Structure 1
């Protein structure tokens, strides 16, 4: 079973390859990205998800073919006996046994895919944001190695890791959360004095209670543009539109 799952899993490409395919499909230009940053970020995420789902389907097809090929003689014999069964109820009973066996394999494969989705979702969002900002000539970097450990929950720094670590008051720190789920508060940093941390999210839902929690952590959140239609956010200057992010970052 594990070997079959690993073979099927190999059909799903790396995050970088999915990003490159998405980029090619969208055919973006700088002017459009600058003027519609929030919209583009959501578009990119949705397209990357669609491409990943298509690869998931191919992986499932690979799993089915591998499973059948491995025991094609036995399955053929079982199917011949099933077709020869008298009565519809008997046919369903015997045919179901084969589907249940494959279903157990799919169930285990789904667990693997679920873990891949979670890892891909967060990592893709971070890399998409970096790619789009670089594309519109905003200098930024993903901390790595020692800097990653030092900055902990910071995903991207503006304009560079060197400035962020040596003179943090001259940098902007981005923490990226594709969605703000239950444990989001434990997964984002607490802003320190003279430190600007922007929370970047494309979550479709932002209750006022969560918006207040963002303020309590000293963060400024850039969210989907349409969420700013909520009148309550007019009195919350720390909740801002994603489309305004490039303008804010150019102040550095």
Structure 2
């Protein structure tokens, strides 16, 4: 094929694996962080803090769905501009002329670098999407003023929150709630629910609409309750008792716990 030996192609591929990450790092750093883009989406939707907490609580499901999509859209816009510029500059730098044939030849010779570049881009995109979802949920959650300790170290696990506090968890773990966010679950819920972790229940917030019934059954056996936007609950998990909406979580799980903690003097009223 064009007189290129197998060993030459392998060497070209190995070199591309070194060149593409450098190219991605050079330009990827110009894309705003997921936190920045998420805050932009939140500020545009809700204005500047302090937020209307009653509105957030009543519309938590739609806000989670809409805001994480808006933040992801901002990321894709920045990605297209920055990475498009990177690819154009790279291909132009590899070209030996200005004709269309030269450009096509440059694209062909750059195939492996572009392939590795897009692989890095895809991996970054997945990470950004997950970070955007988590930032939206956490920002809205914080805005509602519930008591919690963020990112606690619990028996080798690090969930997003323990409620009402790490101190109360150490004193009476069964009276606490553990809450964390993962845009998609698959098997990753096991990262949060370790063998040594104790608590009243584990709440996993997600927008994953493809969790299988056998997997949900395993999660139920480990006291895992999946928290999703209302429409995902209605359309995909209608009969699953350990899948609830965000609104159900606040009204029937967290608010009663807050009332109990207040009555017992665990938190101030």
Deviation at 1:65, TM superposition (A): 4.5
Deviation at 1:114, TM superposition (A): 2.5
CA distance in 2, matches of 1:59, 1:149: 40
In structure 2, the partner of 1:108 is 116
Structure 2 residue runs of 5 or longer lacking an equivalent are 1-18, 259-269
Within the alignment, does 1:223 sit opposite 2:223 as a pair?
no
In structure 1, the partner of 2:5 is none
Structure 1 residue runs of 5 or longer lacking an equivalent are 83-90
Which of 60, 65, 69 is equivalent to 2:83? Answer: 60
Contact conserved, 1:79 with 1:95, CA < 8 A, in 2? yes
Alignment deviations for residues 162-203 of structure 1 (CA, whole Å, 9 cap, x no partner): 32334323321013221122x235333058665221121111
In structure 2, the partner of 1:86 is none
CA distance in 2, matches of 1:68, 1:190: 48
CA distance in 2, matches of 1:52, 1:201: 20
SS at structure 1 position matched to 2:233 = helix
Q: Please, what is the CA RMSD of the aligned residues?
A: 2.8
TM, length-normalised to structure 1: 0.78
Higher helix share: 1
TM, length-normalised to structure 2: 0.73
Count of residues in correspondence between the two structures: 232
CA distance in 2, matches of 1:184, 1:194: 19
Deviation at 1:220, TM superposition (A): 1.5
1:189–1:153 Cα change, 3 Å = farther
Alignment of 1:39-188 (within 5 A): 39-67=62-90, 71=93, 75=95, 78-80=97-99, 91=101, 95-143=103-151, 147-148=152-153, 150=155, 152-181=157-186, 183-188=187-192
Which of 235, 246, 250 is equivalent to 1:242? Answer: 246
